[in-house]
Structure 1
């Protein structure tokens, strides 16, 4: 049976609050479904927001009161998925955790919203999320199957630079790949968030699980990002989907801009602080779609269906998953090419064998 699938990346930006962003996610997913998309990836921190340019009033050895207010607003805008601070893994996925009296689900309902949307549209949804659990924020990614609901969730194991001030570190056990079938097409899905993709051993942990769909939501809008995605595609003999936000300075939350430095306030408020760069790459490192720059899906409720990536901020491609196996003729960095008699990789709490179907 042909192993072809239509996939998309959405170069969408976080809106003013969570309900507005969820509504935009729904509109974009509906638009994608109308164009035959079966799987879609949204950017890093799409739900909850990436606090670009914000310093949270912090310096080495000092924290400002206005920075604590900024963190309060950021924390309150984050998503509660009903998980525990340590990460309950399968117990969370399978809904085995206790619920509060009078409630039949945990969290703020975002999980249930995503599961219902995936079921109604028939589109597999993967999206970046700023997740709150206890008193800590995590940069996470959730995987939502149309027929099975949430397949899993992973938390970024190594926040970069100033991200470490506001995000906790996730467990490496969440790098577990997931398997599913979409219209008979067999998928082994894994993901790395933003600069995790620069970590060679982390990439190898995903390759070892024989992923054929590698998801890389990001906040990196430099033109050096595409070469990394091409390297991962060719290195892992896998399809790579990367999605980034496209944001102007005046589209940031007011709790960031009102407390910005005078230099930021006096600069052109209409300037791009993230230009996007979303793309799709094949298992030989070839570029199949994008990168696209300075375009974003329409935020209005009456979004029109368009066939132009430049108009709607979607990159869409039909992929043949058997191309991954064709690529293994001469390269399998976790198998015949790995010299596993000489080199070994272990990851705490993670089985590196390919997951069973």
Structure 2
């Protein structure tokens, strides 16, 4: 399987333009004969970078309220025409896609956002949407906690693939849930900067004896619309580069195949061999011969809370 990390910039807060960029990147990946293309966390339509750089927790701050409302408007619903556009592009170009996006709740929950992972098979279409289990620190001012409804792996081009968003990769039981699904390729989506993923990409590869692909994005203040409430303030404080990439790939034995690609813009590709997964499981198979199901038991509650069902 040939995989690719799309280390690129979103058209921040511009949903139509970002979706057009996603489709153009799928087209480019097809020209390079990529089987599975992965985008950074919250790529559509950008990461809420301002939260940790402004007084985001100030109660009733009109600038913060305006920023959130604009961020909400630039998000996608899971069953939207925009998602269908991406699904059709993946099918047309024969490229499976893992895409980080800001998911807007549906029905009476349309004022709520989730940090979500859209999973698409080039042949089967939409596989599902995973909502990040726990937003990290200031992210909780923007994103709601997710659920385990799509905490699972999928068979894509003959490889069992799973994915998690940012620091939920540090949650041992979340990782184990994917290992238990027969995971052979683990994809971790990050907003950007290799430092936030330091340690866990290689640890996941060795723990699960899986290929571990880490996908990071790029973002600078020049990418932010001039009328965004905090842009002038942040530039005056000296902010410039927000995310500088750092996508990487680690083999099932823990060997770094692609070192964090800082500053590089474009597709980062590699052809993986699943046989290496099973060569390395001779010594350690975390859900097989090195598991003790007579002692340990993991229960996953996979229901999705659908606010639309509150009203009959």
Verify same fold: TM over 0.5: yes
Q: Do 1:154 and 1:175's aligned partners in 2 also have CA atoms closer than 8 Å?
A: yes
The Cα shift of 1:224 comes to 5.8
- Residue in 2 that maps onto 1:339: 292
Counterparts of 2:42 and 2:139 in 1: how far apart (Å)?
12
Q: Which runs of 5+ in 1 are unaligned?
A: 83-106, 297-312, 351-357
Q: Superposition pairs for residues 209-228 of structure 1, below 5 Å?
A: 209-223=181-195, 225-228=197-200
List structure 1 runs of 4+ shifted beyond 6 angstroms. Answer: none
- Residue in 1 that maps onto 2:73: 76
- Residue in 1 that maps onto 2:26: 29
Counterparts of 1:69 and 1:267 in 2: how far apart (Å)?
21
TM-score in terms of structure 1 length: 0.78
The Cα shift of 1:53 comes to 2.3
Counterparts of 1:39 and 1:229 in 2: how far apart (Å)?
18
Aligned counterpart in structure 2 of residue 327 of structure 1, from 274, 280, 285: 280
Matched, 1:281 2:250: yes
Aligned counterpart in structure 1 of residue 179 of structure 2, from 183, 203, 207: 207
Task: State the Cα deviation string for residues 204-224 of structure 1 (Å, max 9, x = none).
Answer: 111111101111111251436
Task: State the Cα deviation string for residues 106-146 of structure 1 (Å, max 9, x = none).
Answer: x2x11211111111111111110101012211110111111
TM-score in terms of structure 2 length: 0.89
Task: State the Cα deviation string for residues 16-55 of structure 1 (Å, max 9, x = none).
Answer: 4111111211222222211121111000000121011236
Matched, 1:146 2:117: no
Number of residue-to-residue matches in the alignment: 297
Q: Do 2:22 and 2:86's aligned partners in 1 also have CA atoms closer than 8 Å?
A: no
RMSD between aligned alpha carbons?
Answer: 1.9
Change (3 A) 1:255 1:201: farther
- Residue in 1 that maps onto 2:132: 156
The Cα shift of 1:342 comes to 2.4
Secondary structure of the equivalent of 2:272?
Answer: strand
The Cα shift of 1:268 comes to 4.1
Change (3 A) 1:224 1:24: closer
Counterparts of 1:331 and 1:261 in 2: how far apart (Å)?
53
- Residue in 1 that maps onto 2:151: 175
Q: Superposition pairs for residues 164-313 of structure 1, below 5 Å?
A: 164-180=140-156, 182=157, 186-223=158-195, 225-254=197-226, 256=228, 258-259=229-230, 262=233, 264-268=234-238, 271-296=240-265, 313=266
Q: Which runs of 5+ in 2 are unaligned?
A: 304-312
Task: State the Cα deviation string for residues 38-75 of structure 1 (Å, max 9, x = none).
Answer: 11100000012101123675436x22012111111111
- Residue in 1 that maps onto 2:309: none
Change (3 A) 1:51 1:224: closer
Task: State the Cα deviation string for residues 70-128 of structure 1 (Å, max 9, x = none).
Answer: 1111110001222xxxxxxxxxxxxxxxxxxxxxxxx2x11211111111111111110
